[in-house]
Chain A
Amino acid sequence: MGYELTVEGLRDLAEGAAVLGTGGGGDPYIGRLLVEQQLHAGRGIRVIGVDELPDDALVLPSAMMGAPTVFVEKAPSGAGNVIALRALERHLGRTAAATMPIECGGINSMMPLLLGAQTGLPVVDADGMGRAFPELQMETFAVYGVPGSPMSIASDHGDSGIIDAVDNRRMERLARAMTVEMGGAAYICDYPMDAATVRRTAIPGTLSLAMKLGAALRVARAEHADPFERLSEALAGTIYTHGIVLFTGKVVDVDRRTTGGFARGTVTLAANDDPADEMVITFQNEHLIARRGGRVAAIVPDLICTLNSETGRPVTTEALAYGQRLAVYAISTPGLMRTPEALACFGPEAFGLSEPYVPVEQLTGEPSPSPA
């Protein structure tokens, strides 16, 4: 079940992770380069299934925290993430048996792979978001009772800290403040848990899913096939089940504003054949809700992805620009992310939306045909 990551697999994974970033999560380019360096240096990365660890094995998820914009200027030292891992191990008095992503969308899909290569730890093929979300408490781990604390945080300089907060929201705020002091980007290990708890609370198979989606796009381009059909084929039979093209059109307006440290805004697309037919997507780092003619077409936590309508390449909210031809592609989230507890943590209300959550496959009826 486990496998060694190859360079090609890594590249597919990075592109698929950008799809799962659902408009945010940061461009995985820098992360992909970091991991590729390790592979070229001969260090292997073993990705293992969540069932391959004994129940009591300690798993320490790892991630970067802060602004991807800072990351592209101040690239990592390669030491900070290892320091964060060792700090939490020291605090717990136990050694990690594996690491894993807390977030499979965007750049944080790459950070545990880097740590795995540097330390030899296997990387569990699962995560706690099943996509990208903006804050640390938005985790299925948290939803199903795992405290994020104690967490470790480390800088490129080598300093580290332990945050043992009374709840996950306070942990997020304290860690965000330290991240700023550490230069706007930091390395963390949080949600320490045993493998049995990972099995109970994580979204399984998400690294492999990202790889599968990236491979589908790569092959579709090589064969001049419809990328969205290929993505939907790749999703069928996974716990994500539905991939649906909601809309195909051209960006006619992008309205951005920054509040509370988040990139918020809306993007409006007009259909190619009928300019009056518009889809409006509201985002807060990631896409939250897509409306067509005022009616909800998809809503968080289902994934709303903006992809180039010809190549299927993901377009992040930062890169959205007038005139782009995009397909709005929705992916249904697994059942674990749709329970009342999960929706309370990262459903519409958590983002200040008044619309109730309705699964995307119900909103759209049968999967719509892919664009010609």
Chain B
Amino acid sequence: MRVGIDVGGTHTDAVLMDGSTVVAEVKAATTADVTGGIVAASRRLLDGGGVDRSAVDGVMIGTTHFTNALVTGRRLAPTGIVRLALPATAALPPLVDWPERLAQAIRPSVHLCHGGHEFDGRPISPLDPDELKRVAADLAARDIRTVAVSSVFSPVNAELEEAAAAILLAELPHLHVSLSHQIGRIGLLERENATIVNACLRDLAGEIVDAFAQALATVGVRAPLFLSQNDGTLMDAGHTRRYPVRTFASGPTNSMRGAAFLSGLSDCAVVDIGGTTTDVGMLSGGYPRQASGEVDIGGVRTNFRMPDVLSIGLGGGSRVASTPELTIGPDSVGYQLTEHALVFGGQVLTATDLAVAAGLADVGDASLVRGLDPGLVRRGVARMSATVADLVDRMRVTPEPLPVVIVGGGGVLMPPDLPGIPATHRPEHGAVANAIGAAIGQIGGDVDRLFAVTASATREDILEQARAEAIERAVAAGASPGSVRIADISEVHVPYLPGNAVRVRVKAVGDLDLRVMASPDEEQEQQWATS
């Protein structure tokens, strides 16, 4: 059996799953310390069903801890930044577009060094080992223990980042090294930013992973621990220590994956309605569609893998005003819904009150909204469903109408049918779809590189090579080989250059093979991974 846990800002949700059956679900309050909410939720989950702790094969956690640390600028480690590129790129040094506050929070030590590749794989300049030894000396002098290394075109050729890591580690064996080719795609500044974010979170990642393991030990679970990544796949505890940035935005991903699982649909729109916001995302082949451009997190522009989600300020707690014109949200009473909403005896007209008055929802005391203007209720409900239907329409990638799955506590706001949408699904357990999404996470492998199409390497050869590499990476990460399939493949041609340069992205995913996974205490901590 698997335990899935989603640590949100307000609630910590947990589910127990036996194969594809949801055995139990609980909601607990998130606590200020890392472990409290998790211990409380898991204990209630397992004790409620009298579950034998040894029957738990794996625990999957989705968390916002790392995103919050960056957004608030707290608990970030002093960070070394090495860019291998000289003489190129000197006009745009690292951190160039960072918010001042955040740049100060990581107390950076910045080093522009020789190295890097051209787009076609030729070196820009050779690595200078002495230069890197001087970097190591500076990091040591400043007592900096984590470093981000980015080399130009490393997504095409990673060897210089790896060589630089080896030189730095020979000088400073305990250094944590984050390499950009393992974090982001083409687009130096954005990839470097994500790598720096990863580096400054590594101390915290160690603490959080230890705390999670401690929480599981407290409730008597000895199964391996996994964390949700932003693409819906899982990474083990060791990977999480090395790649905390990959947990960013795993929340929306998990709720979308959970919705797919509960509804049995793999190609659909998912509408997650909470207390304050509604998120709409698209599932393609069971995985969230990823954003194509740059993603801004805490003011830092990055290009790492993020789900493409549209959010609006509509939720169960959204305030409703009828004069001078009808507005619903974006202001919300949020977690105070049960104090302020009319149906709970409060004084604020909320979206939930409209849903209760319209007979869509059965919460609180319906008699308290009996006096509402029926015209207002009708228009309000119609507005909410039209708003959501419009968001869904914006996210569609093909002209064919797609079914919609509605999850989240605010799902009751929606009438049975949405305008222009063929089928609306409201699966059982939809309120904890995010924890279910964590529990059912798979293991993935990605390729994102520029290839040159030539007479000896045709487009088919290149795609085949990319597919094979992605599958190999998924298996290396713990997927059972027979289950791995290609989830996504895309080619983008690179303009303004003669010849045919093609950027190929491939994603392979497979089922996590829990039998071959090492248990947490047997796992060897690597300084950096090359796969």
Contacts and interface: CB of A to CB of B under 8 A. Distances in A.
Contacts of B393: 323
Contacts of B500: 258
B118 A77 contact: no
A77 B90 contact: yes
Contacts of B496: 66-69, 134, 261-262, 285
A79 B122 CA distance: 20
Contacts of B97: 33
Contacts of B503: 69
Interface in A172-193: 176-177, 180, 183-184
Nearest to B292: A321
Interface stretch (B10-18, B221-229, B330-338, B396-404): B396-404
Contact of A37 (B96, B293, B498): B96
Contacts of A261: 495-499
Contact of B87 (A79, A256, A260, A262): A79
A74 B116 contact: yes
A285 B495 contact: yes
Contacts of A134: 496
B153 interface: yes
A158 B87 contact: yes
B517 interface: no
Contacts of A262: 495-496
A323 B400 CA distance: 12
A130 to B, nearest CB: 20
B398 A322 contact: yes
A76 interface: yes
A48 B525 CA distance: 61
Contacts of B96: 33, 37
A358 B57 CA distance: 71
Contacts of A33: 92, 96-97, 189
Interface in A278-333: 285, 318-319, 321-323, 325
A76 to B, nearest CB: 5
B265 interface: no
Given A33-B92, A69-B494, A69-B495, A77 B87 contact: yes
B397 A77 contact: no
B89 A74 contact: yes
Contacts, number: 130
Contact of B119 (A34, A70, A257): A70
A157 B91 contact: no
A175 to B, nearest CB: 12
Nearest to A65: B496
A138 B298 CA distance: 42
Nearest to B453: A258
A372 B399 CA distance: 24
Given A258-B495, A322-B398, A77 B119 contact: no
A256 B503 CA distance: 14
B493 interface: yes
Contacts of B292: 319, 321
Contact of B495 (A67, A74, A180): A67
Contacts of A252: 399
A183 B499 CA distance: 14
A156 interface: yes
A125 to B, nearest CB: 24
Contacts of A318: 492, 495
B92 to A, nearest CB: 4
Interface string A30-56: 100110010000000000000000000
A250 to B, nearest CB: 8
Given A69-B186, A183-B119, A77 B91 contact: yes
Contact of B92 (A37, A177, A285): A37
A70 B120 CA distance: 10
A72 interface: yes
B120 to A, nearest CB: 7
A351 B125 CA distance: 39
A318 B122 CA distance: 26
B184 to A, nearest CB: 11
A77 B85 CA distance: 9
A67 B397 contact: no
A263 interface: yes
Given A37-B96, A260-B498, A285-B496, A75 B399 contact: no
B115 to A, nearest CB: 12
Counting chain A CB atoms within 10 Å of each CB, which of B186, B492, B493 scores highest?
B493
B90 A73 contact: no
A103 to B, nearest CB: 13
A356 interface: no
A323 B91 CA distance: 37
B515 interface: no
Interface string B493-525: 111111110110000000000000000000000
A75 B91 contact: yes
B92 A74 contact: no
B398 A75 contact: no
B101 interface: no
Given A158-B87, A323-B396, A73 B497 contact: no
A74 B124 contact: yes
13 contacts: A69-B186, A74-B116, A74-B118, A74-B188, A75-B89, A75-B189, A77-B88, A180-B120, A180-B498, A183-B88, A257-B493, A323-B394, A323-B397
- Shortest 8 CB-CB distances between A and B: which pairs? A78-B91, A258-B493, A263-B495, A67-B496, A183-B118, A75-B89, A156-B88, A261-B498
Interface of A: 30, 33-34, 37, 66-70, 72-79, 114, 134, 156-158, 176-177, 180, 183-184, 252, 256-258, 260-263, 285, 318-319, 321-323, 325
Given A76-B91, A156-B89, 17 more contacts: A33-B189, A67-B119, A72-B189, A74-B153, A78-B90, A78-B91, A79-B90, A134-B496, A180-B120, A184-B119, A184-B497, A252-B399, A261-B497, A262-B495, A262-B496, A323-B395, A325-B394
